[in-house]
Structure 1
Amino acid sequence: MAFLSIFLLLAGCAGNAPRAPATTAQTRPAPLLLISIDAFRADYLQRGFTPNLQQLADTGVRAKAMQPAFPSLTFPNHYTLVTGLYPDHHGIVDNNMLDPKLGRFSLGNRKAVADPRWWNEAEPIWVTADKHGLKTATMFWPGSGTKIRGYRPDHWLPYNGKLTPTQRVDRVLQWLDLPPGERPTFLTLYFDRVDHEGHDFGPDSPQVDAAMHRIDAAIGRLIAGLKQRGLYRRMNIIVVSDHGMAPSPASHVILLDKLIDLQDVTITSMGELAGLIPKPGRDAAVEAALLKPHPHMHCWKKQDIPARFHYGSNPRVPPIVCSPQTGWDISTSGWLATHKTTPGSHGYDNADPLMRALFIAHGPAFRDGLVVPEFPNVDVYPLMTHLLDLPAQPNDGSYDAVKDMLRPDAR
């Protein structure tokens, strides 16, 4: 689920830890703008509602798809994109999780979301950029409103879901109008409406099509603004999504209370990924009930999660993890008595085509009219650190896997 109403952050900009000397205009790399369109499934581009995105793809680089990290949820994947680490390695392992020392993290727990200790297991690219003298600006990116390892972006806003796509674009353009000493070299921009409509009406709904059209109009406004400022041919732009979206019929529900005694477990998350912690002495009973085959769900002990998921070593991953079949939901009778299921969901097996994400890149560093095969989203981070001439922090990505997207002189 997109991060609606989750940031309780102090507005404005706070001082960062000491940084390297500021770069000069001669040494500063070309500006880089990272745009996320939450839940824009890779095949949405073919629907014909996004001519501006299509133009960027046709005159730049487009991937057939980008594979999200597991679980294919918003917070884990947005942090993967800016750290190059799988969720198991950067610590944001779910939208809802328990930490042995910090307690509970959830999208609605504003105090937890603003606590840097949840984010400090990794260093996002804006922190590295700040350390090396580059100015940064983030428009609504998970983690960007809290001080991570002593740094937060130079320019940022607390999340406000009422800010329209046009207003978000205009703020980014305002940041690019700042004097050279304050102007950001690395920026992010986030749009959430496609995700909301996908959840509320399903991925094949006219509401999703309308949301795509609206976001694309904002992208058009951005392009026009960059051209007016002489930046369009000088700025590298990467457009991604965090995951796709699948239809989830209301009848496709797996009830945990039909399988186990809920008094035997602490539930850390439900929905498209369930995490459970058996209570003392109840391990055997819970494992016997959940680890056997189920028609629409697979459960594992965390140490037995398939290696392809790169998931299960972090202390925040609960002892038992259950992944439902795409389109199914793991819930309880009590929860369903007071909540409704949604027609669209994500968080499923990241190899499922319905979870595939968008990737488009355009700018002076990128080749023209190139279509590349599907690749994992951990590779976006080393691509960005290369473009910004920054030392990549330890990560799970591969620059060699994506360098052919670049013009020879930019490699």
Structure 2
Amino acid sequence: MGLSLFRSKNATMKRILLCLSAVSAALCAPVSAFATEAGRPAPVLLVSIDGFRADYLARGLTPNIARLALDGVGSAGMRPSFPSSTFPNHYTLVTGRYPDHHGIVNNTMRDPARPGAVFKLSDRAAVTDPFWWEGATPLWVSAQRQGKVAATMFWPGSETPIHGVLPDEWLRYDAAMPYSTRVDTVLSWLSREPGRRPDFATLYFEGVDSAGHEHGPDSPQVGKALEDADAAVGRLLDGLQRAGLKDRVNLLIVADHGMAAVDPDHAIELDKRADPNDMDVINSGAVAGVDPKPGKEERVLQALSAPMNHGRCMAKSALPASLHYGGHARVPAIVCIADPGWYFTAKGKFAGKGTIGMHGYDPAAREMNALFVAHGPAFRKGVTLPAFGNVDLYPLMARLVGIHPEPNDGNAATFDAALTPVD
């Protein structure tokens, strides 16, 4: 995407303006029970290692992350929300809403309120259009409205003025930016004096996901990507140690989803099950979304919902309640879900490839389980939590940052056993 554009704002003036526009919220913002300095909560740093499957931690390639789990809080895994894809789940992590509730229902989607418009990751104009994001309020917006400082190092939605608010500090996504530069920038933010230091910050690494897609989750390339991500975490920990912040930052290291190995020949070809002239395939892969052409609804649904091996298609209104999906207008009329290891396509199979990797599957699939590790003054040592849904992370972070949470789908009690006692 070219050179990263660093956006530095006058944080003090911005917070004054935000507080003037929402005085009651700012004055009534709660004081965190985990305050450590000048009455302010310890900073919260949310680190996403995209595509880090929960069981990757057992491969022995990530000693820094493993040590944090042993010295802090680990888990059997964090279940993504459906579909287990990147943008829907990154937005769930910072809003506590299921994709069906916050509106980022897939990496590619349409909205009947904007005929002809398409949201897709390769379209920067669409990705930065507030229209798509304002079905929920991310934590950085709520934090700033309540007098806090927020900074984001690459997070879906953070380049967009959601409800008119951008983070105090943010960077335009640049996949070419070295991990070391990302880490050092975040360390520079956290090293500021209280009041200018972010109360909430994010950090993002994409390499594990990229290697998993291209080569499959069991490939040497994923192993190398895991080592690179762990080295970046090690650099972060060393920097926090030098700054005297190692035990004064609440660090959350998570992933948005896992990864499943896929044989390219394991394709379910939608255009061979229904007439391609009768339907628009909005998205494909582990999950497919199909909108029949007007007047073809019953015909397409009957054809696609016929029994098949390794997958199923159904009207969105018939999706299992456990998926929390299908009510939003952006969800296509027909949703198809493949079994792990299989995928839907309308454009032929992946040609000339060996094993690849995919996600997007039912969150109950073991391969979709995501990483969760927490360490810092708010957390006990040596705790391992059972698997939990990723909607639960938002109310925890709101509590740690010391703000009133927005309405959300999470369970604030999930982490009670992992938090240090409060006098």
TM range (shorter): over 0.9
- Does 1:146 pair with 2:160? yes
Partner Cα distance (2:215, 2:127) in 1: 27
Summarize the alignment of residues 129-144 of structure 1 with structure 2, pairs less than 5 Å apart.
Answer: 129-144=143-158
Match of 1:323 in 2: 337
Partner Cα distance (1:339, 1:148) in 2: 42
**Alignment-mate amino acid for residue 68 of structure 1:** P
Task: Please state whether the residue corresponding to 1:12 is helix, strand or coil.
Answer: strand
Summarize the alignment of residues 6-405 of structure 1 with structure 2, pairs less than 5 Å apart.
Answer: 11-13=6-8, 18-20=17-19, 26-102=38-114, 103-332=117-346, 334=347, 336=349, 343-405=356-418
Task: Please state whether the residue corresponding to 1:175 is helix, strand or coil.
Answer: helix
RMSD (Å), alpha carbons: 2.1
Number of aligned residue pairs: 404
Task: Please state whether the residue corresponding to 1:394 is helix, strand or coil.
Answer: coil
Task: Please state whether the residue corresponding to 1:404 is helix, strand or coil.
Answer: helix
Partner Cα distance (1:182, 1:115) in 2: 28
For structure 2, the residue ranges without an aligned partner over 5 or more in a row are 20-25
Partner Cα distance (2:355, 2:126) in 1: 26
Q: Give the Å deviation of 1:126.
A: 0.4
- TM-superposition CA deviations, 1:10-38 (whole Å, max 9, x none): 75146858322699962321100000000
Percent pairwise identity: 50
Q: 1:107 to 1:340 in 2, by over 3 A?
A: farther
Q: Give the Å deviation of 1:266.
A: 1.4
Partner Cα distance (1:59, 1:383) in 2: 19
Conserved in 2, the CA contact under 8 Å of 1:67 and 1:377? Answer: yes
Q: TM-score, normalised by structure 2?
A: 0.91
Q: Give the Å deviation of 1:147.
A: 0.4
Task: Please state whether the residue corresponding to 2:414 is helix, strand or coil.
Answer: coil
Q: Give the Å deviation of 1:359.
A: 0.5
Partner Cα distance (2:272, 2:333) in 1: 20
For structure 1, the residue ranges without an aligned partner over 5 or more in a row are none
Conserved in 2, the CA contact under 8 Å of 1:49 and 1:209? Answer: yes
Moved more, 291-300 or 357-366: 291-300
Partner Cα distance (1:316, 1:339) in 2: 34
Conserved in 1, the CA contact under 8 Å of 2:107 and 2:120? Answer: yes
Partner Cα distance (1:184, 1:205) in 2: 37
Task: Please state whether the residue corresponding to 1:408 is helix, strand or coil.
Answer: coil
Conserved in 1, the CA contact under 8 Å of 2:97 and 2:408? Answer: yes
Q: 1:128 to 1:341 in 2, by over 3 A?
A: farther
Conserved in 2, the CA contact under 8 Å of 1:9 and 1:145? Answer: no
- TM-superposition CA deviations, 1:306-341 (whole Å, max 9, x none): 000000000000110001111111112x45488969
Q: Give the Å deviation of 1:180.
A: 3.7
Q: Give the Å deviation of 1:185.
A: 1.3
**Alignment-mate amino acid for residue 157 of structure 1:** L
- TM-superposition CA deviations, 1:273-293 (whole Å, max 9, x none): 111111111112101101121
**Alignment-mate amino acid for residue 90 of structure 1:** H
Q: TM-score, normalised by structure 1?
A: 0.94
